[in-house]
């Protein structure tokens, strides 16, 4: 991908900043981020224009969309658990924010959008879960908001001719991560290296995708796919459970004799809305010639090493 005029919403965040790193040298990149969860330090050394604004402000995002021809839309509330305490946050940031992005694209004749969706749109589905599984019944407000975002992109695509792809991610992990199980475990062990609290019963099993594979998958599949609107799963073909992740983090931090304490939770889940087992089918992406470089366990080991190096110095 080169010589594009690209707007990256949430471009100072975890996934967004890695996309900036990939694209900034051969494209004209603008980052739009309110820095609520993003970090300007992640992008300060890249050749980009930075706009410190919020996608929930329509006039701000409409103004930023001038002279843009491609949008990577990452800006969102990233914390699935936050919706349990604030049932409005995903509606405001993820649904209305996405509508503002799309309407701004329409008014500025922007042709293409790549959307970071989520495996949570499926709810509790048979595994491995294919893109054509249905009906989709998310069990969290976060999942509901991502599904609504996909529906709006599909609608704008069919009515106004915008090309859109929604990428349904497995658990994306790696350097610059700011939330998630590995991040949480490291911070808990920094506070108390004798005991580690594990939400749920530790048997929750999910697919983990290394950030480099996530970035390469989005760019590759966008350039290969010719449909006006499409969805792709991005993940790995293996499961890693939470207890194994805890052991990997403890080993990576060089700790010994750490006591694991599980909270049990509802049916062994970490929180309300937590999907206990998630594995996406990536056969569709593979049919286009993409597959991840790292397995789920390899991704966890790499990400643990990355985050231990980053977080132990904070």
Q: Which pLDDT belongs to residue 264?
A: 84
Q: Give per-residue burial for 245-260: e unless 16+ CB within 10 Å, then b.
A: bbebbbebbeeeebee
**Residue 8 or residue 88, greater confidence:** 8
The fold of the 174-207+238-311 domain, in CATH, is: UDP-galactose 4-epimerase; domain 1 (3.90.25)
The fold of the 5-172+209-234 domain, in CATH, is: Rossmann fold (3.40.50)
pLDDT digits (tens, 9 = 90+) for 113-154: 999 999 999 999 999 999 999 999 999 999 999 999 999 999
Q: Which pLDDT belongs to residue 227?
A: 96
- Residues 229-258 have a mean pLDDT of 97
Lowest mean pLDDT among 87-91, 144-148, 158-162: 87-91
- Residues 92-120 have a mean pLDDT of 97
pLDDT digits (tens, 9 = 90+) for 36-59: 999 999 999 999 999 999 999 999
pTM listed for this prediction: 0.93
pLDDT at 83 over 70: no
- Give the whole-angstrom CA distance, residue 79 versus residue 191: 22
| CA neighbor of 290 nearest in space, from 236, 240, 238 | 236
Lowest mean pLDDT among 162-171, 262-271, 295-304: 262-271
Q: Is the dihedral of CA 58, 100, 95, 1 positive or negative?
A: negative
**What is the average pLDDT score of the chain?**
95
Percent of the chain with pLDDT over 70: 98
pLDDT at 171 over 80: yes
- Residues 243-264 have a mean pLDDT of 96
CA 167 to chain centre: 9
* Residue 243 binned pLDDT confidence (cut-offs 50, 70, 90): very high
* Catalytic pick among 122, 142, 208, 229: 142
- Please state, in angstroms and as integers, the Cα–Cα distance from residue 172 to each residue in 16, 186, 227, 282, following that order: 12, 17, 25, 15
- Please state, in angstroms and as integers, the Cα–Cα distance from residue 273 to each residue in 124, 148, 266, 277, following that order: 10, 17, 10, 12
Q: Which pLDDT belongs to residue 78?
A: 77
142 classed as catalytic:
yes
pLDDT at 258 over 70: yes
- Residues 272-295 have a mean pLDDT of 95
User: Which sequence spans correspond to the domains of the chain?
Assistant: 5-172+209-234, 174-207+238-311
Q: Which pLDDT belongs to residue 84?
A: 66
Q: Which pLDDT belongs to residue 314?
A: 56
């Amino acid at each position: 991908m080169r010589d594009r005029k690209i707007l990256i919403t949430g471009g100072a965040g975890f996934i967004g900043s890695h996309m900036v790193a990939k694209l900034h040298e051969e494209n004209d990149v603008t980052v739009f981020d309110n820095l609520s969860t993003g970090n300007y330090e992640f992008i300060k050394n890249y050749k980009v224009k930075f706009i410190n604004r919020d996608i929930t402000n329509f006039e701000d995002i409409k103004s930023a969309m001038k002279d843009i021809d491609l949008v990577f839309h990452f800006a969102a509330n990233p914390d699935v658990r936050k919706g349990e305490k604030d049932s409005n946050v995903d509606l405001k940031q993820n649904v209305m924010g996405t509508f503002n992005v799309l309407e701004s694209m329409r008014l500025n004749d922007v042709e293409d959008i790549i959307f970071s969706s989520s495996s949570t749109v499926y709810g509790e589905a048979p595994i491995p879960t294919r893109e054509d599984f249905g009906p989709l019944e998310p069990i969290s407000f976060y999942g509901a908001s991502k599904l609504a975002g996909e529906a709006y992109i599909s609608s704008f695509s069919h009515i106004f001719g915008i090309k859109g792809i929604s990428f349904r991610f497995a658990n994306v992990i790696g350097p610059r991560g700011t939330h998630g199980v590995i991040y949480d475990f490291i911070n808990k062990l920094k506070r108390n290296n004798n005991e580690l609290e594990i939400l749920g019963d530790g048997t929750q099993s999910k697919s983990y995708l290394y950030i480099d594979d996530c970035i390469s998958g989005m760019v590759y599949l966008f350039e290969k796919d010719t449909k006006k609107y499409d969805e792709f799963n991005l993940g790995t073909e293996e499961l890693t459970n939470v207890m194994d992740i805890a052991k990997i983090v403890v080993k990576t931090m060089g700790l010994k004799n750490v006591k694991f304490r599980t909270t049990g939770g509802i049916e062994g889940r970490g929180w309300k809305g937590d999907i206990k087992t998630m594995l996406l089918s990536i056969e569709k992406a593979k049919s286009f010639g993409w597959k991840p470089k790292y397995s789920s366990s390899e991704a966890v080991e790499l990400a643990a090493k990355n985050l231990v190096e980053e977080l132990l110095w904070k």
